[in-house]
Structure 1
């Protein structure tokens, strides 16, 4: 079932377009948006939350665009989970969670803290009195307060140490709530997302089942992201291509960095079906070989 859908969405800051005609569905089983910083992941997530209006295309919520949807219902169904720094430092933890609840339901604060594995007594503390992992759990508890169908998570573990990350991932895996995960951490997206979309320079370059996409990428950018992850006891990753090159202004945006770039890459590659996924690359068959 599709919860949210982007249909040929273009997004801009001022006059500069940063996401270009992206179409994708947020479906059950967890969806990942993968890419390096500046690839357009967070900008697209902000559009899914109704915080940015596309300059062209539409965001669909059910059978209605966000422009026509009942926003009270939408805000209940779709909740963001930002990083722990999003908490108001002046508010006590209990008050921060209760802010999303009607007065008649504010007794649920303790239950929500327990649901995310925190001692209810922490409700009286302020954010600076909690660890990073505890604060991140509070952010999740606050999002769960309204009973959402979908959580949109923007790098929920990036500022946490490895052991705390593992506890947060266990928590998110156990929740009976769908999720859209924005991350550059491939291990996290593999753990939480059934399908994934890889963005480069504001364009989807590869989409498909997460395990297939990461085990055997069909786009050289996806392969570069995967190969950049160090392995325990293995050699350091080797960068291939010009990793410092900016996106190309025409043709394939990745061609100035691509080790397989060829003359045909001066033409924009269409997003096409290949090996059970979609990929925008003229040389995809060579990448898979």
Structure 2
């Protein structure tokens, strides 16, 4: 079976602000079926998303859109094909819902606004309302409708449901899952990744520490950080998960960046592990990955 070419690809990308690198030597593909970037605040997810959107140029490495290096790509075409979906707060409070969606359309196509609102489950009569007159879920649907206006190939979603209550989150996830548009999802919410993404990459301190099929990665983590993220998810009933290691937020300056928080850290962790194959379609940057998978 032919493997589809990635929509976007990062090759050994390092990103930063000024001279300070915050994402280090990341390589990953955005492929069919949805790809998730998972990690806590400060892990580098949003910085990587900005680079994938062409808003931040790598300090080193390359980002490819199909067979085009993003440094040389036709950015007008690229920005039509790759659309961001941020949190609902991204709406201009001075503009009505309809005007926000119409802004993305050529003037001759602005009669499509009612159909776009209906596509995301909003009645056309909401087009005249401003953001403060809409609920959180309605505002998020307007943001999605605006992104869909140009028929994108890929949506890059940065925490699209984090400000919504659980019921509204479920509706938005159902909507996104049914759109038929490829997606790169940036989130700390494992349930959202499991719902929308076939593949996931886990970032810690600007480095990809684990990658693989989402279902397998969450069921049997190959990196202690992935395991800690999974165990931190609240569960109804039963005993709380065991505490795993220390909780210092800062990464180690040398060796494995997670070793100061890792319950499995050994002397070998003073040497930084390289990402390596630990199973079919799975990679982990951990000296003890096989022990976790055993």
Displacement of 1:248: 0.5
Partner in structure 2 of residue 94 of structure 1: 98
Pick from 258, 280, 283 the counterpart of residue 285 of structure 2: 280
- Could you list the per-position Cα deviations for residues 118-139 of structure 1 after superposition, in whole angstroms to 9, with x for gaps in the alignment? 0100001100000000000000
Aligned match of 1:22:
26
> In structure 2, what is the equivalent of residue 226 of structure 1?
230
Displacement of 1:246 after TM fit? 1.1
* Distance in 1, Cα, partners of 2:32 & 2:211: 15
- Counterparts of 1:184 and 1:249, CA distance in 2: 23
- SS of 1:43's partner is helix
Secondary structure of the equivalent of 1:32? strand
1:275 Cα offset (Å): 1.9
- Please state how far the C-alpha of 1:237 moved relative to its aligned partner: 3.6
Task: Give the structure 2 partner of residue 103 of structure 1.
Answer: 107
Q: CA offsets per residue over residues 210-240 of structure 1, 9 Å max, x none?
A: 0000000000000010011111112234431
> Residue 7 of structure 2: SS of its match in structure 1?
strand
Provide the rounded CA distance (Å) in 2 between the counterparts of 1:173 and 1:179: 9
Query: 2 CA distance for matches of 1:85 and 1:238?
Result: 37
The equivalent residue for 1:159 is 163
Match of 1:126 in 2: 130
TM-score (structure 2 length as normaliser): 0.97
How far apart are residue 243 of structure 1 and its match? 1.1
Distance 1:284 1:236 in 2: 24
Quick one: distance in 1 between partners of 2:233 and 2:284? 21
Residue 267 in structure 1 maps to residue 271 in structure 2? yes
The unaligned stretches of length 5 or more in structure 1 are none
Q: Which residue of 1 aligns with 2:151?
A: 147
Residue 245 of structure 1 and its aligned partner are, at CA, apart by: 4.3
Q: CA contact under 8 A between 1:8 and 1:56: conserved in structure 2?
A: yes
- Aligned mate of 1:64, from 63, 68, 82: 68
Aligned CA-pair RMSD: 0.8
Q: Deviations over 1:36-85 (max 9, x none)?
A: 11000000000000010100001101111111101111011000000000
- Measured at CA, do residues 245 and 76 of structure 1 come closer, stay the same or move farther in structure 2, by a change above 3 Å? closer
Taking structure 1 as the reference length, the TM-score comes to: 0.99
DSSP 3-state at the match of 1:117: coil
Name the CA distance, whole Å, in 1 between partners of 2:243 and 2:147. 39
Determine which of 169, 173, 196 is the counterpart of 1:169. Answer: 173
